[in-house]
Structure 1
């Protein structure tokens, strides 16, 4: 699996909006932050466009993304936000230029589609915060601070407290994953995620609890859980119960779906649609240690 190297001062970062539309000020804030760190920012030509819920038409969003994929000097592509729309352009993109001039793709949520595509091509990518969540001051956001630290090659491990639903154990394997709804939507497509002998990370937002149960059972019935080396559950944010209660919390639903397996499981990892959205190096081999005391996640640059 090819892993892009850390960025250097003066490197070019391209910002594109492949899905939902985004306020101009959010992009300008992100540009200001990155330029303050001595990166050169290149904006997609159509990044400020609006077409219904999208940041421009499918054709124009794909054109912007293709430009960044092909750009010989761009070292990272930062997606402006998620929302919906990435799946509408994924089959319009060519990755031959990217393979000649690889770069780090950054984003989460709907951007999971691109993470899955790059995994098929054996390229690593980064699940991390995006401009829609940027603040002007790095110290105001640990997610943004950790992203910039990662870009500079300063982060190689995490340690978080024990959660009572965790299952202890250790493993070392490639990390894959992203948004649970997107992962399930890719089943039986050319972009289906391979979870065999891998550590899977999942997160999600604003789902009915019964739908979360359906998603986890879909993973189970499609064989995505049976051969995991580990499972990391991030934020399951703003989950909704029905008029008749489902009877379990989001985390309890997930725990039940994997109870017959033996791989280590951690809950409440700080990543996803939450304030603490720490960068996760998808495609990298990570060491995963879960004890009754804490959780450790580490990798080599």
Structure 2
């Protein structure tokens, strides 16, 4: 998999010393088991040119959460009011769904109008989709909603753990500095000549499904839907995708783009059943083009995607370009 707009930079991505952006790392979801990892992530973000800081309650603990609901909601609103250039979630897990009914969406909207880019994936899907559903993303706001890396998952890895993935870091830097205008990847044969334009939306399949039928569900028609998940056996992925199909969501889209569905375990009962089976089944069920191969999800190499932006999707041979510049 590759991101065509992310070059194999000959020089360091911050060699030109771009203006330092403020970046706040906060924890709206799961607890961080190893506090030292947050400090490693912060050092890395500082080293690549961000004026990075850790929210006061980012390392709080309450059962499996990064503080109780009131603590995490206050952190979210505190970051929104401060309106840093980048608001990055520390990690995913679970917890944002608990907050959706109490989030003051106009505060999120004002931060985006002031230039804040809300970045994350996994459980952060709930915030992205809720913001879309409640109209927090204005068409020409300088800020935005970005499906992209998490501080802990992507910037705290030690050298022994593989370190920070170069494409992920470079893509993130370009996106936050307003330089990223497209990403590209390779898909399966059969889609040559496909062109589509629509609103880019989506994220983690399980989190997305949890919002279906609620007031936090964005009713997007003619969009480009992207999906990923982790620790979900293919039969659970298929069930979720068929739920979207049977609810009329897939048919209402111009295209569906599948990222990584990682870290699931095979069963002796599978007998050849796997993710390819799921995609074949889904393509037989809907006329909406289903593309695979997007480098995004719970994997080391991930691109950044502007949630809620109008994008163009073009396929030439097996090369897919997703552009919004």
TM-score by length of 2: 0.83
Query: Could you say what secondary structure the match of 2:312 adopts?
Result: strand
Give CA-to-partner distance per residue, 1:124-177, whole Å, 9 cap, x none: 410011112215798743212211121112221222224247575110111000
Unaligned runs of 5+ in 1: 1-7
| 1:238 and 2:238 aligned | no
Distance 1:223 1:114, change over 3 A: same
Distance 1:88 1:122, change over 3 A: closer
Deviation at 1:291, TM superposition (A): 3.2
Following superposition of structure 1 onto structure 2, how do residues 204-219 of structure 1 map, counting pairs within 5 Å? 204-219=229-244
Partner of 1:281: 306
Give CA-to-partner distance per residue, 1:159-209, whole Å, 9 cap, x none: 222424757511011100000111111111111132411000000111122
Partner of 1:3: none
Following superposition of structure 1 onto structure 2, how do residues 1-301 of structure 1 map, counting pairs within 5 Å? 9-22=19-32, 23-71=34-82, 73-102=83-112, 103-120=116-133, 121-123=135-137, 124-132=144-152, 133-134=154-155, 135=157, 140-164=165-189, 169-245=194-270, 247-300=272-325
Query: Could you say what secondary structure the match of 1:226 adopts?
Result: helix
Q: 1:21 & 1:122 partners in 2: Cα distance? A: 27
Give CA-to-partner distance per residue, 1:225-250, whole Å, 9 cap, x none: 11111111000112334442175322
Query: Could you say what secondary structure the match of 1:89 adopts?
Result: helix
Unaligned runs of 5+ in 2: 1-17, 138-143
Query: Could you say what secondary structure the match of 1:110 adopts?
Result: helix
Q: 1:191 & 1:178 partners in 2: Cα distance? A: 14
Q: 2:174 & 2:71 partners in 1: Cα distance? A: 32
The answer as to whether partners of 1:167 and 1:266 remain within 8 angstroms in 2 is: no
Deviation at 1:269, TM superposition (A): 0.9
Distance 1:294 1:10, change over 3 A: closer
Partner of 2:15: none
Q: 1:298 & 1:219 partners in 2: Cα distance? A: 25
Q: 1:162 & 1:211 partners in 2: Cα distance? A: 23
Q: Which moved more, 1:176-185 or 1:146-155?
A: 146-155
Q: 1:162 & 1:215 partners in 2: Cα distance? A: 22
Query: Could you say what secondary structure the match of 2:70 adopts?
Result: helix
Deviation at 1:253, TM superposition (A): 0.8
Q: 2:271 & 2:315 partners in 1: Cα distance? A: 29
**CA root-mean-square deviation:** 2.2
Q: 2:271 & 2:98 partners in 1: Cα distance? A: 33
Q: 1:10 & 1:97 partners in 2: Cα distance? A: 24
Query: Could you say what secondary structure the match of 1:194 adopts?
Result: coil
Deviation at 1:259, TM superposition (A): 2.8
How many residue pairs are counted as aligned between the two chains?
292
Distance 1:251 1:190, change over 3 A: farther
Q: 1:288 & 1:41 partners in 2: Cα distance? A: 34
Distance 1:156 1:136, change over 3 A: farther
Q: Which moved more, 1:204-213 or 1:253-262?
A: 253-262
Partner of 2:12: none
Distance 1:246 1:222, change over 3 A: farther
Query: Could you say what secondary structure the match of 1:183 adopts?
Result: helix
Distance 1:245 1:277, change over 3 A: same
